[in-house]
Structure 1
Amino acid sequence: MNRKPLFALSAAVVATAIALAPVLWTGTDPLHNGAAVAATPSDQAELIKHGEYLARAGDCVACHTVRGGKPFAGGLPMATPFGTMYTPNITPDDQYGIGTWSADDFYRAMHTGRSKDGSLLYPGFPFASYTRVSRADADAIFAYLRSMPPVNVPSRPHELKFPFNNRNLLIGWRTLFFREGEFKPDPTKSVEWNRGAYLVEGLGHCSMCHTSINIAGGPVSSAAFAGGLIPLQNWYAPSLTSAESGLGDWDIQDIADLLKTGVSQRGAVFGPMADVVHNSLQYLSDEDIRAMATYLKTIPQRSEPPETMQMETSEAFGGELLQQGQKIYHDQCAKCHAENGLGMPPNFPPLANNQSIQMHSAVNPIRMVLNGGYPPSTTGNPKPYGMPPFAQSLSNQEVAAVVTYIRMSWGNKGTPVSPQQVADLRSAPLD
């Protein structure tokens, strides 16, 4: 569930916030822990605390804070197929941040994708998901952002290619891909399931990575949550549905463990999803994590994931790779992942019957062999075990061979990969 936007935010986007109107508690709702009503200092403190929690759930800090920079001061460059965008300053600075926005302005941006002056926001700001967020929760996030120290730093202008620098084109995008509306609970489902749906489809905006986008930058709705290559990041967001690499046969506890700690008996997260767990999910309550797991387990298969470019090998060459890969695996991998591929979970994840190994796309296992990596360091797993990189010690053919071996052994149903695909990914960015 990687949350880095595929387009990036408009400079006015989350420059959304507030001349803080007093907000008050109204009580508790299955979809959120509180709403607003008026007004003791302790009420306001609770509202800000709740807003901080919700901002964590939305992983706002990941996009609006550069490494080593002031929280929420923006400036993070986000490469997209349409050019580079820079995230805006959303601290309560009157000149460059969100200091002059009202609660209504903030909610309008979240709910309708329009900035304070009514201009259209780029869909890198995930308003297509945030439209589902309740007014009470939007007000809480708003209160939290208003409580942060202001940072007097201007937002950097986007560097978009023509014609994508023309915001008027967003009218067509919105007509095709945006449906405004707060989340409506399904009365046939449990409170827990509805809470999970609210978090996954709303603040979590999981579909932004786990649903493929088309050439217009819109989601392929017929294959929602069916996975896809994340543009320019060269990571494959796996399907969350019940076919290719979905969660239908996972225990809810294993899903919850993966979301909360980054590791489980079924596998570990790496790449962009490791950042999501580190920045966001580890801070959610056990109840909310279990609710998300409950919902994710029930997402139905809607269609096969879109085909990804996979260099095919001949049957004969695939057989050669398989044989070569077996020796490399024995020499380099079996100590941690075991000769039978069962690993030693959760520290060394299993490769046998691991859906992420068998997907149509071999991007993720190739990148792991080349670059190595660690699951996130979380409270539940503070000292994660890592995977060493093999880019310097294995040739393109050797990497292709060992990845072919793990994709086709122990009952795995993957296909051989090509040394050319390894070559193409060898220079891929690490983030």
Structure 2
Amino acid sequence: MKKMLIHFFVVVLFLLTGISVYAYFVGYRVDGNASLVSFGTSTDRALLIRRGEYLTRAGNCFGCHTVKGGAAYAGGRILRSEYGNFVSPNITPDSVTGIGSWTSNDFWLALHFGKAKDGRLLYPAFPYPNYSQISRADAEAMFAFLKTIPAISQKNPDHELRFPYNQRRLLAFWRAMYFKPAVFAEDKTKSPEWNRGAYLVKGLGHCSACHSQRNVFGANDGVSDFSGGELSQIQWYAPSLLHTNEAHLQNWTQNEAATLLKTGVNHKSVMSGPMAEVVFDSLQYLTDADINAMITYLQAIPVTKADSVSALDQALTEPDRNEKTKKQMMQQGAVLYRTHCMDCHGAQGEGFTSVYPALKGNPGLQMNSIANPLLVILAGGFAPVTQLNPRPYSMPPFGPVLSDSEVAILLSYIRNSWGNKAAFVTAAEVNHYRTVPMD
């Protein structure tokens, strides 16, 4: 029996090694070309670098590869997950700690195949399943820009992952099951604007990296999976872009959606949490044409309706409240609302256009997930500072002011007033989110 087990593990190790080596060489054999760009004049190079800067912003490379208050693109930002902590690498042109020794082909292999210069398989916390959609020409432009930024000598710590996720060779199996390199292919039956939007949303914007559900192996259903999902460890919920009762853009006009994506606020909603960072670091810099193209694509996605919470799940999470108890909670909630919320959000939850979002009819308050409104109430909601909204109004944190029971009563009231209808919230649910670490 002992010999059989040893033989089994030897075979597994052989397979892992073989698959890793195969994946490494296949990656290089499939696309081992040198740079596809030749510079005719200095003007051509300047235009390429400027385009690369724009594309790098569109891909939000700055957001993940920059520690708050740190040097741009020098990495070191900790990305928490259920598998442990990932640490973003230095992508400045430092030859020792950054990508200064990389070629444009090395960079292309990282984006398109998920492989580092030394052939190591990259963890999909780096969204190469999405970046694989990026064209070779755009990758060349991005690399040309990154080679021009200040070189920062900053060696960042290694990932801190639990076993077995710290065994990088196992990524070969993950890739075999869930990853296939594929440059974006236009749909000839659609308009150029739709195709541009699809390219940005699926590829550079990597929207599915957050707005999707993950299985136990950390994989989603691909670059078109916008089913919505909770961001592990920080517990913000990235709403579904498919469901009409979550964040599907068919609920808004093109102008309403564009205003939100460019400024972080419109009369119906305010970007908070991780999405506020995306607006601050990336979306505000996009052209109106690209923003509208993304909206065109997202609005064309077939709509679905989110599944309601099952009776069993509701029974497990919500105490059995009779109508008398709910009426009392609504009465108490009305008092709390008048005291803490009405001055900004209005007596009827109507809000104040482009300053304080409306609570009446707000889908973000009526989703099955209560993560986002609870985190905003407890820790405050801070809209991004943008070029078109340089001095945004923000919401103060009420965690230090209100108890768990009071927050539960207040949010239950908001979720069931002015035509809103959603499940009541418990004090235990509030307490769960009160202890969430904030980046």
Length-normalised TM-score, structure 2? 0.87
Shift of 1:67: 1.9
CA distance in 1 between counterparts of 2:268 and 2:188 reads: 32
What's the CA shift for 1:23?
6.0
Name the SS for the 2:413 alignment partner.
Answer: helix
For residues 320 and 251 of structure 1, do their structure 2 counterparts lie closer, same or farther at Cα, with a shift above 3 Å needed?
same
Q: How does 1:186-205 map to 2 (within 5 A)?
A: 186-205=187-206
Partner of 1:164: 165
Note the alpha carbon deviations across 1:246-296, whole angstroms, 9 max, x for none: 222211111111100001122111111001000110011111111111111
Match of 1:406 among 399, 414, 433: 414
Report if aligned partners of 2:80, 2:233 keep a CA contact under 8 Å in 1. Answer: yes
Distance in 2 of aligned mates of 1:73 and 1:410: 48
Matched, 1:387 2:388: no
Q: 1:244 to 1:161 in 2, by over 3 A?
A: same
What is residue 176 of structure 1 aligned with on the other side? 177
* 1:273 matched residue in structure 2: 275
In 2, are the aligned partners of 1:82 and 1:164 still within 8 Å (CA)?
Answer: yes
Secondary structure of the structure 1 residue equivalent to 2:234: coil
SS in 2 for 1:147: coil
Residue in 1 aligned with 2:117?
Answer: 116
Counterpart position of 1:239: 240
Residue 68, structure 1, aligned to residue 76, structure 2: no
Report the more deviating stretch, 223-232 or 182-191: 223-232
Aligned length: 400
Shift of 1:372: 1.4
1:270 aligned partner, one-letter code: S
CA distance in 2, matches of 1:391, 1:426: 7
Take 2:45 and 2:103, find their aligned partners in 1: how far apart are those partners?
16
CA distance in 2, matches of 1:223, 1:181: 13
Counterpart secondary structure, 1:42: helix
Query: Which one-letter code corresponds to 2:320 in the other structure?
Result: S
Residues 209-239 of structure 1 deviation map (CA, whole Å, 9 limit, x = unaligned) = 1101122111155992121111011211111
* 1:314-363 deviation per Cα after TM superposition (whole angstroms, max 9, x unaligned): 23244432221122112221111112111112101101111101000111
- The 5-angstrom pairing of residues 369-380 of structure 1 reads 369-380=377-388
1:217 equivalent in alignment to 2:218: yes
Question: 1-side partners of 2:154 and 2:343: how far apart?
Answer: 51
Matched with 1:130 is 131
Question: Relative to structure 1, is the Cα distance of residues 318 and 39 closer, same or farther in structure 2, using a 3 angstrom cutoff?
Answer: farther
The unaligned stretches of length 5 or more in structure 2 are: 1-33
Deviations along 1:364-408, one digit per CA (max 9) or x if unpaired, are 111111111221010111110111211122111110011011111
Whether contact under 8 Å (1:66, 1:75) holds in the other structure is: yes
Corresponding residue number in structure 1 for 2:263: 261
1:422 to 2:430 alignment: yes
Deviates most, 307-316 or 344-353: 307-316
Residue equivalent to 1:6: none
Instruction: Find runs of 4+ consecutive structure 1 residues off by over 6 angstroms.
Output: 305-310
Residue type matched to 2:195 in 1? N
Q: Percent identity?
A: 46
SS in 2 for 1:78: strand
Cα distance in 2 for partners of 1:278, 1:67 equals 13
- In the TM superposition, residue 38 of structure 1 has moved relative to its aligned partner by 2.5
The amino acid of 1:312's aligned partner reads E
Post-superposition offset of 1:155: 3.0
Task: For 2:151, give the aligned amino acid.
Answer: P
* Aligned alpha-carbon RMSD (Å): 2.1
- State the SS of the aligned residue for 2:86: strand
Q: Does 1:348 align with 2:349?
A: no
Conservation of the 8 A alpha-carbon contact between 1:226 and 1:302: no
Report the CA distance between 1:412 and its aligned residue. Answer: 1.3
1:48 and 2:49 are equivalent in the alignment: yes
Task: Name the SS of the counterpart of 1:267 in structure 2.
Answer: coil
1:387 is paired with a residue of what secondary structure?
A: coil
Worse-superposed segment, 152-161 or 415-424? 152-161
Query: What is the CA distance between 1:105 and its match in structure 2?
Result: 1.2
Query: Does the 8 A contact of 2:271 with 2:383 survive in 1?
Result: yes
Amino acid at match of 1:159: E
1:249 equivalent to 2:257? Answer no
| CA offsets 1:69-116 (integer angstroms, 9 cap, x no match) | 221111112221111121111111111211121111111111111122
Matched, 1:283 2:285: yes
The structure having more radius of gyration, on CA atoms, is 2
Q: Secondary structure at the match of 1:393?
A: coil
Bigger mean CA offset, 120-129 vs 181-190: 181-190
Structure 1, unpaired ranges of 5+: 1-20, 25-36
Cα distance in 1, alignment partners of residues 35 and 109 from structure 2: 18
Structure of higher RCO (CA pairs closer than 8 Å, 6+ residues apart):
1
Q: Which residue identity lines up with residue 68 of structure 2 in the other structure? A: R
Q: Is the 8 A contact 2:66 2:73 kept in 1?
A: yes
1:244 to partner: Cα distance = 2.7
How far apart, CA to CA, are the structure 1 residues paired with 2:395 and 2:91?
36
Q: CA deviation at 1:184?
A: 0.9
Return closer, same or farther for 1:306/1:63 CA change in 2, 3 Å cut-off: farther
Q: Secondary structure at 1:79's aligned position in 2?
A: strand
Of the candidates 328, 332, 343, which is equivalent to residue 335 of structure 1?
343
Separation in structure 1 between the aligned mates of residue 348 and residue 304 of structure 2, nearest angstrom: 33
Maintained 8 Å contact 1:313/1:417: no
| Inter-CA distance 137–416: structure 2 relative to 1 (3 Å threshold) | same
Task: Give the letter aligned to residue 123 of structure 1.
Answer: P
CA contact (8 A) 1:93 1:99 kept: yes
CA gap 1:215/1:322 in 2 versus in 1, 3 angstroms:
farther
Contact 1:214 1:220 (8 Å CA) reproduced: no
**In structure 2, C-alpha distance between the alignment counterparts of 1:340 and 1:67, rounded to whole Å:** 38
1:7-22 aligned at under 5 Å gives the runs: none
| Distance verdict in 2 for CA 1:143–1:307, change over 3 Å | farther
